[in-house]
Structure 1
Amino acid sequence: MESAVTPDVTHQSQIKSQARAEELISILEHYAQRIKVLSLDCFDTLIWRQTATPSDAFFDMQKRPAFQAAGLTARLRAQAEENARQKMLIDHGSTEVKLTDIYKANNPSLSNHALAALAEDELATEQETCFAFPPVVELIRQARARGLKIIIVSDTYFSEPELRRLLESCLPQDVLQSIRQVFCSSEHGVAKSSGLFSKVCNKIHENPHSILHVGDNLLADFVAPQTIGIHSIHFIHNEKKVGETIRMQALAGGFIDPAIRHERSLVNPFRGIFAASRLSEWQTESLIGYLSAGPVMYAFARYICAEVEKLQLQGKRPKVLFLMRDAYLPSLACETLAGREIGKRVRISRFAAFASSFRNKDDIDKYLCDNVASLRFYDICRQLLLPEAIAGEISEKAATLPNPALAFIKLIHQDHILTHIFKASKAYRQRLIRHLEREVGLEKGDTLVFVDLGYTGTAQRKLEPVFRDEMAVEIVGRYLISLSVPGWEKSRGGLMDPSWCDDRTLQTLVAYIALLEQICTSNEKSVVDYDTDGSPIYSETSVSKAQHAKLETIQSECLRFIQDAVQFFSQARIQPSNRVLRDTAMAELARMLFFPSAAELDYLKSFEFDLNMGTKDLLNVLDPEKGLTGLRRRGLFFMEKNLKSMRTNYPAELRSAGMELALTLMAQHRIGFDVRVSDLSLRRENLNVIAIRAGNASQTMVAALPTHDGYFSLIVPVGTGDFQVGVQFGLNYQWVQLESIELIVTSALYTSKESEHTVDASENIVVDQMENKGQGLYECLTDTSLLVYIPTRRLGEHHHALRIVFRPIIGKKKNRHGIQA
C-alpha cells in the first residue's frame, strides 16, 4: 500500500510534468523517441481498488477466517502496520515492511502457518477489490507496440511474488506478459522517495534518462525519480472540486450508516470513471449530473434491471411502469444501461392514486386521518373529488365551527357526500385503467412493476387492492428507497430498504429527498385526471422553463456517466456487486443532500419543488440567505415544515453556513437524540430587563441564548401588549448590533409555524442614550443606555413574546465579582 500525498493541483497546463488519464498516450508519444523503459507505479495508477481508500479494504479482511482466528480487526491491522514501520525505523533506519512484519508487530507469537494464512487472506481480499485502470492498460499496450520495456515500481508491503499474483488477477494476459520486472520497496528495504529508483536503474542496467516513470504520488512518483534524472509524470486523478466531492462522499457514507467502517468497507467503484472522464471543474452541471446523480441512477438502474429479470425467472409477466414525473430520469437511466426500452412511462401521481382508491368509508377515513390536521379543507375536498361548489361550502362551514377538523369530518361523513365520493372515485378508477390499457396494454393476470424513487409506496399501496380485486392484476414496487411500512417486504423492495439498512438511515435521506426528485423529474405538469380515452389531464402548476433547461443539462450528464460506466466496467473486467453499488449510492445521496459544494448550492438555489398532490403549491428548494437569517434569529430551530414558509432542503442551507451545522442535523436525524434550544451552547448574555405597567416598574435579569455568527436571542414576555419593556444594553456593552426585533405569539415559539405568527416590531422601538451608527450598529453612551418596546395597541387574546436578536460588538469590562466595571 502506498503513502497518500495529496498535492494541491489546480491546473493541467504543465503537460510535461503532470497529466490526466486522457493525456497519458500523448505524453508517451512525446517521450517515445528518448526513452527505452516505461516505469509505472502500481496502486492508484495501474491497479485501483473499489474501496474509497486503501485502508478500507481492512474492513473486508477482518471477516476472513485467518484474521478472525488471529483476532485482527481493521483497526488492529492499521495499528499493526504503524507499529511495524516504527520498529523498522528504529532497528534499520527505514519504514519499509513486509506483511509478516506487520502481523508480528501486534502478535509476535504467531506461527509461520498463521502468518501465511493471514497473507493469503489479505491478498485474496485485494484480488476481490482491485481492478486494472483501463487508460493505463492502454498505455502499456501502446508502450509495448513502440518496443519499450515496461516495469512496475511500487511502494508496498507486498513481496514481488505477491504483487505479481495480484497483477495476474487484474490484468489482461497480453498486458501481464508485457511487464518485464516488478520492484517492491519491501524487498529492497527502501522507498521510492529514499533511493529505490537508483536500485532499479542498476538492476535493469539502464541510464536514468532512458526511463519515463508515471505515478500518482507527487513526492514518490514525480520528485524522487527526477532527482536522479528519470523523466517523470505526475498522474493527476481529478480536478480539485472533483476530489473534494469524493472526499465529502466518503464522510457522508461513514456517517449515515454506522456499519460502514465497522462491519464493512466504505466503497467507491466510480473513482476510476471520474479519473478517466473529461470533467471540467467549472461545469457545475457535470458536478451534479455526472459526479452525483450519475452514480445514484446507475446503481438504481442496475437494481431495476436485475429485479425485472428475477420476476421473469419466477414465471411472471412483468410490465414495468415508470411513474411520472419522478421516475423520468430512472427510466432514461434503465434504457441507457440496457440499451433498450424496459418499460413504459405512465402518468400516475399521488393525487391520481388516492383519487382512484376511495371504495368505502374506511378508505376515506384513512385519508382524512392523515390530512385533516392541516386544516386545508378545500384541497382535501379536491382530493376527494368533490365539486367546487360543495368543496367551498363544506370548507367555509367547517372553518367557522369551534372544532374545525372534527366538524369537517362530520360534514364529509354525510351520506350524500360519501355517495358522491364513491361514484366519482369509481369513474376516476376506470379512466386510470383505460390510461394503463392504452400505455402498456394492461391485461388480467399481468404483474405491474411500479418504478419510482419510492419511500412508503403510496401509489402502490392505494392501487394494489383495487387492481387485485377488480382485475386480478398484481402490483409490485421497486424503488430507489423503500421505507418500512407494515407488510412492505411482501410486494415492495428498494435499492435501499430495511432488508439491510435501519429505519433511521433511510428516514435521514428521505427527509430532504426533494432535491433528488427535482433532478429526476420530467418537463411536464402533475397529472390530476384522465379523459375518457385515458389521456392524462394535467394540473395548472409547473416549474419554470429556466429550471427545466438546467435539468436537461444535468440529466444529459447523468446519462453520459452511465454510458461511461458501462464502457469502463467492461474494459476493467469488473461488475460492482449490489452491495457496493447500494453503499456508494447511499453515500453519494447523503453527500448531495447534506454536504453540497458551493457551486452546487449556487446552481440549485433558484429551484422550486412542485408538491405533486393536485394543489398549486410550489416550494423553494433552498435559499442560503434566508437560511442564514433564520440561523441568526432562531439558531438551528429555524427550520419549519409548513407549506407557506418551508424550503425542502434545509441541510444545504446549513452547509452554506457551516459544515458543523449540517453534521449536527444529520446526527439528529440519524441518532434521534433529544436536543433543545438551551442545549446547543452554554454561553449566555444576561441583560437587565425593565417592565413598565401603569406607571409601575420592575426589573429582572433575562438570559439571551446564542444563535449564529455571534448573535444572541433575547426573548421577553410582553403579554397581550399592556406593558412596556426596556432592555438596558448600556450596562453590558459599549457597542451592540441589532439584527431584528419581532413580536411572536408565545405558543408558536420554535414551532413549525412560528413565522406565520411573527410580525416585525421595529416600529414600536425607541432608544435612549444609544446612538445609531447605521447597519443596525449602536453605540451605548452610558450605563443606562436603553432600548424600549412601546406597544401601540392590544395584541388580542394570545400572549406574545418580544424577540430581540443582537450581536455584542464591544463589551464592558467586569470586575472580579462579575459586575460591569
Structure 2
Amino acid sequence: MTETILPHELAQALDRAPAGIKLLSLDCFDTLLWRDCHAPTDVFAAFDAALPGQRIVGETNARKAQQTLRRSSEVGLDAIYAQVLPNASAAHRKHAIAEELAAEARACFAFGPAVDLMRAAKARGLSVIIVSDTYLDAVQLEQLIRSAAGDAVADLIDRVFASSQAGISKGQGLLSKALKVMKCRPHEALHLGDNKAADYDASRALGVPALHLLQFSDAARGRLRFERAFAQIIGEQRDDMRGLQPHRAILSRDEPLCDDPAEALGLSVLGPVFAGFDRWLRSEAEMLRVKQGGTVHWLFMLRDGYLPKRVHEAGGACPNTASVEISRFTATAASLSSREAYDGHIALEHGLNPATLARQMLMDDAEIERIVGTPHSAADKSAASAKLITELRKGQRQKITLRRARGFADRLTEHVRQAVDPQPGDTLMLVDLGYNGSAQNRIDALLQETFGVQVAGRYLLLREMQATGLDKRGLIDARHFDPECLEALCGNVAVIEQLATCDLGSVVDYTDQGAPIRKDSAVKGKQSDIREAVQRGVVSFTKAAAVPPIIRDNFAHEARAWRDGVAAALGRFMYLPAAEELDVLARFEHDINLGSERMVSLFDPDHAREGMRRRGLFYMKGSSRMFLPAELAQEDMSTRLSLIAQKRFGLGLSYTDHTRSAFELPVFYVSSNDTAQTTVEARATHDGYFAARIPLGSKGFGAALQFGGVLEWIELVSITCSPVSGLKGGFANDAPPVPVTAQFDGVEERAPGLFECLSETSLVLVPPDAVPACDEPQMLEFVFRPLRKRGDSATPFAARAATARAAITASEKAA
C-alpha cells in the first residue's frame, strides 16, 4: 500500500486497504473537519473572552503545567482557560469555553471526499471512528462535527476518541487504545490523516495499515501561506476570525489534477479571485433589482470584462446578460460633446504624446499628419504639442470635434441598444475590473439621458481618483480597505487586465448600426494561447466552486470570507508571484489602450536589476513599471517586503532614507577652456553597488571622477547620462539613461568590468563632446562596486579584493 493519498482520491481509499479490514479510523481536523481560515489560531480572533495571544499562551502554559505535574502534555479546555482566565469565575470560564466551541462550529465544515469515504466504509459494513489529538473532549468533538457538518455526517461515526481525555496522543498510542475499545486487531483497521508523524508513522508502528493525506503540494502550501501573510499586511477585521481562505478545499481537491502550468495559474490563483467576484456580482444585481425595480442588465465591458463574463456563464448566466465593447478611448470620444468636456479633457491630458491626444480629440489621420506630423526628438514633440494646443483652442476646431463627438455618442448608445435594448426604469450594471471606473465617468450621464435608466458600475477593484458621486462599488473598495491598500493593489492591475482580456483589438469606433470597429490586435499568438489556457483554469475553478467539496450547516460569514480571500489572493499574486507563475507570463506584453498602438513588456527583470543597482530601493519608490514585483522576484524577501511596505503604506521615504552608507569621491568639471574641482557623494544602492551622480549644469561640460583618490579596485557597471528629473524615480519619461563613452587615466581593466586604479590620481573622464544634447539639466551617473579601499585592508571592501584577484588570475589563464 502506498504511503500518501491525495484529497481527490479519498473516496476510493478503501480500494487500497488490505483485505479483511473491519474498521476505518480517521483523524478529525484537516482530514474530516476543515476550517475556513488558514490556521487554527485564526479562529481565536473571534473570541470576546480573551485576545488571540492570551489564548495561545494559556494553552502553552496549561500543557507545560500538565507535563510537569502529571508527565503528560494533553490538556482540555478547562485546563487551558484556567490559565487564560486565572482570576475568572467558573461561570465566566464556562461561558468562554462555550464561545470557543461556537466559533469553531462557525469556522468548520466537513471535507466532502472524506465524507464520501465514510459512506463507502458504511456501505461495506465497516465501523468508523474518529481519533484526534485535540484539547476538545470526545463529547465536545462529536458535537462540533454535528454542529458544523450536520447530523447526517455525525451519524456516520460510531465512536470518537480524543487525546485530551485519554491522556496520550496518537504518537503515544491513542490509536491502540481506540482499537482495544472497538475490539479490533491492528491489521483489521485502516487509519488515515494529514499529519505524517501522528497519523502515518504512529499507526504503522502499531501494525495498523495507514495512509498519509497530502492536503496540499509544497507549492500550494507556500502560496496559501503567502496569501495569509498578505492578508495580515492588508489589515484584517479585528473582531472576528481571520485568515479566511474559502478556496482551500477546492484547491486541495482539484489542483493536483491540473498539470498544465498556465491552466494551473488560472485554477489556483485567478480562479478564486474571479469566482469570488462573480458571487459578489450576483448579490449586487439582486440588491439593485430590489432597490431600483425594473430589469437589471449585466453589461460586461470588453475587453477586460471578457473573463468575468466567461466565469459568470460557467456558474450559470443570469438573464439579460451581454457584452459591450466600450473602451476608455470610445467613452472619452463620446463624452466630448460639450464645451466643458472638451476644455476639461485638453487641460487634463495636455502632455500626452501629441499624436495620441490629437486622436482622442477626434482628428483623422490626415489632420494628425498635417498638424502634428511624426516628431521623434523631445524638442520636436514639444513643438508639435504646442502646435496641437493652438489648433485645439480654435473655435472652428472645437465645433468640428463637438459635432464628431455627438455622432460618436449616437453610435455608442446604438451599440448598447443592440446589446440589451434597455427600457426606462431599468438598470445598466457595468461590469469591469476597475479600477477608477473612467469609462463610467464619461458615459454615465449619456446612458441615463438616452435610455432613462439607472447606471451602476460594479468592479473587482475600485479606487476612485475623484468623488464622482456615481453609483460605483467594488468587491474590493474603500468600504472595507484603506486608500493606501487600494492604491497598492491598483499599481499592479495590468497583470490582471492582461489575463482577463480577449483576443480582440481595442474598439475605436462603431458603425451607425452600433457594430464595433476595432484596431488590429497587437497581441502575439503565443500570448493569446497562454491566456486562453489560464482562462480555462479560471473557468474550471468556477465550475468546481459551484459544487464545492464542502458539507456544512451554515456559512454566515460567506460574503466576508470571499472578499477577504479574494483580496489576499490578488495581493499575493501581485506582490509575491511564484517563479512558476512568472514563467507562464515571461513574454507577455500590455496594450496601453489609449488610442495609441503602444505595447509594453509586462515585466523586465533585466530592467529591474539595472534599476536596483542605479537607484536601490529608491528605484522602487518612484518606478511606474507595469508589474514591478515580478521584476524584483529574483531579489531576497527583505527587498520584496520593502516594496510591499512602501506601496501598501505610502511611506513617502526619500532617497537618503534608503541609502545610509556613503563616501565622497573627488570630481573635476571640465570644459573646452576651464576646469573646476569639488567632491561628489557616492551612495549605496543595492547588493554592494554604489552610484555617484554628477550634475552637469550648463551645457558644454563634462566630468572626471577620481576613483583612485579613495579606491584601488572597483567593478565598474555603467556610466550613463540622463536628465536630473529622472531622480524622481525610474527612468524619466520611460526613457532609459544613455550610455556615454569614457576615457581612462591611470585605470586599467584587468578583467571584464574589473578595474585597478594604479595611483591616487587615477580617474575616469567623460569629455564634454561625449555628453548627449538635451533641453533640460543632465547628470552623469557612475554605477560601481567598491572592491578595495586605498591603503586600508580593514575596509569592508577588502573582503572582495580576493575575489577580484581570483578573477584576474582566471582571466590571465584563459588568455
Taking structure 1 as the reference length, what is the TM-score of the superposition?
0.90
Contact 1:94 1:190 in 2 (8 A): yes
What do the CA deviations read for 1:466-496 (whole angstroms, capped 9, x no partner)?
2223332221111112224555665111211
2:10 to 15, 21, 24: 24
Match of 1:422 in 2: 402
Counterpart-to-counterpart distance in 2, 1:741 and 1:237: 53
2:520 to 540, 551, 554: 540
Contact 2:7 2:113 in 1 (8 A): yes
Match of 1:606 in 2: 587
Contact 1:744 1:800 in 2 (8 A): yes
What do the CA deviations read for 1:530-560 (whole angstroms, capped 9, x no partner)?
1121110002343111111001110001100
> Residues 752 and 784 (structure 1 numbering): CA distance in 2 closer, same or farther, change over 3 Å?
closer
Counterpart-to-counterpart distance in 1, 2:180 and 2:127: 15
1:233 to 211, 220, 225: 211
Match of 2:47 in 1: 61
1:17 is aligned with what amino acid? E
Match of 1:621 in 2: 602
SS at match of 1:737: strand
Contact 1:623 1:647 in 2 (8 A): no
Paired residues for 1:512-661 under 5 Å: 512-568=492-548, 577-638=558-619, 647-661=625-639
2:101 is aligned with what amino acid? L
Match of 2:813 in 1: none
> Residues 309 and 662 (structure 1 numbering): CA distance in 2 closer, same or farther, change over 3 Å?
same
Counterpart-to-counterpart distance in 1, 2:481 and 2:603: 28
1:105 to 80, 83, 97: 83
SS at match of 2:415: helix
What do the CA deviations read for 1:17-72 (whole angstroms, capped 9, x no partner)?
1111123344321215142221111000100000111111111224xxxx2xxxx1
Counterpart-to-counterpart distance in 2, 1:519 and 1:817: 50
Higher alpha-carbon deviation: 560-569 or 811-820 = 811-820
Paired residues for 1:668-687 under 5 Å: 668-687=646-665
1:778 is aligned with what amino acid? F
Counterpart-to-counterpart distance in 2, 1:761 and 1:171: 67
Does 2:20 match 1:39? no
1:59 is aligned with what amino acid? A
1:296 to 269, 273, 282: 273
CA displacement at 1:440 relative to structure 2: 1.4
Higher alpha-carbon deviation: 571-580 or 298-307 = 571-580
CA displacement at 1:599 relative to structure 2: 1.0
1:135 to 101, 109, 113: 113
Does 2:463 match 1:483? yes
Contact 2:304 2:501 in 1 (8 A): yes
Paired residues for 1:343-362 under 5 Å: 343-362=321-340
Counterpart-to-counterpart distance in 1, 2:598 and 2:358: 16
Contact 2:696 2:778 in 1 (8 A): yes
CA displacement at 1:583 relative to structure 2: 0.5
What do the CA deviations read for 1:145-184 (whole angstroms, capped 9, x no partner)?
1222111111111111111111112335343222111111
Does 2:357 match 1:380? yes
CA displacement at 1:459 relative to structure 2: 1.6
> Residues 260 and 532 (structure 1 numbering): CA distance in 2 closer, same or farther, change over 3 Å?
same
Does 2:249 match 1:272? yes
2:403 is aligned with what amino acid? K
Counterpart-to-counterpart distance in 2, 1:565 and 1:401: 52
Paired residues for 1:319-338 under 5 Å: 319-338=297-316
Match of 1:4 in 2: none
SS at match of 2:522: coil
SS at match of 1:356: helix
Counterpart-to-counterpart distance in 1, 2:469 and 2:88: 46
Contact 2:13 2:117 in 1 (8 A): no
SS at match of 1:462: helix
Contact 1:737 1:809 in 2 (8 A): yes
What do the CA deviations read for 1:430-468 (whole angstroms, capped 9, x no partner)?
111221222212334432111111222122221111222
Counterpart-to-counterpart distance in 1, 2:630 and 2:653: 20
Match of 2:452 in 1: 472
Contact 1:60 1:264 in 2 (8 A): yes
CA displacement at 1:665 relative to structure 2: 2.0
> Residues 123 and 490 (structure 1 numbering): CA distance in 2 closer, same or farther, change over 3 Å?
farther
Counterpart-to-counterpart distance in 1, 2:317 and 2:767: 71
- Tell me the percent identity: 31
Counterpart-to-counterpart distance in 1, 2:152 and 2:130: 16
2:288 to 307, 311, 318: 311
SS at match of 1:749: helix
1:29 is aligned with what amino acid? D
SS at match of 2:190: strand
Does 2:120 match 1:145? no
CA displacement at 1:752 relative to structure 2: 5.0
Counterpart-to-counterpart distance in 2, 1:396 and 1:731: 51
Counterpart-to-counterpart distance in 1, 2:576 and 2:797: 44
> Residues 489 and 414 (structure 1 numbering): CA distance in 2 closer, same or farther, change over 3 Å?
closer
Higher alpha-carbon deviation: 554-563 or 330-339 = 330-339
Does 2:223 match 1:245? yes
What do the CA deviations read for 1:789-818 (whole angstroms, capped 9, x no partner)?
333357556443221111123445638999
Match of 2:717 in 1: 739
Does 2:430 match 1:450? yes
Higher alpha-carbon deviation: 32-41 or 285-294 = 32-41
Taking structure 2 as the reference length, what is the TM-score of the superposition?
0.91
SS at match of 2:134: coil
Contact 2:113 2:549 in 1 (8 A): no
2:184 is aligned with what amino acid? E
CA displacement at 1:505 relative to structure 2: 1.4
Counterpart-to-counterpart distance in 1, 2:504 and 2:470: 33
Contact 1:742 1:762 in 2 (8 A): yes
Contact 1:22 1:278 in 2 (8 A): no
> Residues 22 and 793 (structure 1 numbering): CA distance in 2 closer, same or farther, change over 3 Å?
closer
Does 2:782 match 1:801? no
1:726 is aligned with what amino acid? A
Match of 2:808 in 1: none
Higher alpha-carbon deviation: 715-724 or 72-81 = 715-724
Paired residues for 1:783-798 under 5 Å: 783-792=760-769, 796=773, 798=776
Contact 2:134 2:164 in 1 (8 A): yes
Counterpart-to-counterpart distance in 1, 2:13 and 2:250: 20
Higher alpha-carbon deviation: 242-251 or 791-800 = 791-800
Query: Which ranges in structure 2 are unaligned for 5 or more consecutive residues?
Result: 802-815
Higher alpha-carbon deviation: 278-287 or 505-514 = 278-287
What do the CA deviations read for 1:508-529 (whole angstroms, capped 9, x no partner)?
1111101001111011111010
Counterpart-to-counterpart distance in 2, 1:817 and 1:525: 59
1:259 to 236, 242, 245: 236
2:289 is aligned with what amino acid? Q
Contact 2:787 2:797 in 1 (8 A): no
Contact 1:730 1:784 in 2 (8 A): yes
CA displacement at 1:80 relative to structure 2: 1.7
Match of 1:779 in 2: 756
Contact 1:770 1:785 in 2 (8 A): no
Contact 1:652 1:662 in 2 (8 A): no
What's the RMSD between the two structures over aligned residues? 2.9
